[in-house]
Structure 1
Amino acid sequence: MESQSYQNHRKFYPPHHFIYLPLLILLEVFGIWKIFNDEPNKLIWILFSIVIFLLFYLAIMIRQHYALGLQNRLVRLEFKQRYFELFGQRSDEVESKLGFDQIAALRFAYDDEFKELLYKALHENISGNEIKKSIKNWRADHHRI
């Protein structure tokens, strides 16, 4: 498996991203084209295009909503556990000062960098993206959605 880094840490689900969604986009473009080029059946093609758009919208929103909601909860739990293991105390106060993007970015840092980057996030308010770019030794996460 390829070593994970900032450049390649995003994950795709090929049937969804490279088959289903492109097919829906093609059908939508075809439906819109037919609206302007098939005058006798214009109403049918409008309805077709609306249905395809709704399928496209639902496919994106439902998949993302459930997966990301669950993943966000797990990332927060992982942060709490890791903070407790490193500092021996609860993270409630620290967690309330961080944005989710910062918490999520910190999971890619090993423990030695985690402490330094956590300090920067709290005192310099660096963004999650800046935290990721600052990581020298990337801690891969191959189990995310």
Structure 2
Amino acid sequence: MKQQNYKNHSQLVFGWHGITFFAILALLIGSFVNLSHSAPENIYSASLICVIAVICGFFFAYIRIFALKAQDRAIRAEENLRHFALTGKLLPAQLRIGQIIALRFACDEEFPALAAKAAAENLSNKEIKLSIQNWRADWYRV
């Protein structure tokens, strides 16, 4: 397995981010084109197809959002436990979830100091990730 770093840490799943997204987009566009060209007797069914396409779009977005929220909660708990194990203290309360998620890539040696710096200087997620010298890979989050 290749080494993970800032440049290659984000993951895209071709079937979800590619095929499913474009299939729903095509359904959405096609359904509205169909509605605009429908004969008066077919307006009801064409509008139902549009509603289904919009619902699929919401499903696509919310399924991803809900999964990420669950992963965010797990990462917060894991990193809080890791910080406690390393320092005997919980993570600084002023850290935002995005900062904690970025901190998960820091190795144990860098983690406590970087967490304190991120809290004190209100570093962005990108700044945190770019500050990491020894990258700790996370292959599970998609």
**In 2, distance between residues paired with 1:108 and 1:132?**
7
**In 1, distance between residues paired with 2:24 and 2:60?**
10
Q: How does 1:1-145 map to 2 (within 5 A)?
A: 1-40=1-40, 41-65=42-66, 67-87=67-87, 89-91=88-90, 94-145=91-142
Structure 1 unmatched runs, 5+: none
Q: Would the aligned equivalents of 1:101 and 1:128 in 2 still touch at CA under 8 Å? A: yes
Q: Would the aligned equivalents of 2:92 and 2:119 in 1 still touch at CA under 8 Å? A: no
Pairs aligned (count): 141
**In 1, distance between residues paired with 2:100 and 2:64?**
22
Letter in 2 for 1:16: W
TM-score normalised by structure 2 residue count: 0.86
Distance apart, 1:70 and its partner CA: 2.1
Distance apart, 1:3 and its partner CA: 2.1
Structure 2 unmatched runs, 5+: none
- 3-state SS of paired residue (1:21): helix
Identity value in percent:
35
Letter in 1 for 2:89: R
TM-score normalised by structure 1 residue count: 0.84
Distance apart, 1:44 and its partner CA: 2.4
The superposition leaves residues 23-65 of structure 1 with CA deviations (integer Å, 9 ceiling, x where unpaired) of 1110111111122223343332222111111122113203431
The superposition leaves residues 66-119 of structure 1 with CA deviations (integer Å, 9 ceiling, x where unpaired) of x223211211121122112211x130xx43121111111111011222233122
Q: Would the aligned equivalents of 1:34 and 1:42 in 2 still touch at CA under 8 Å? A: no
Distance apart, 1:140 and its partner CA: 0.9
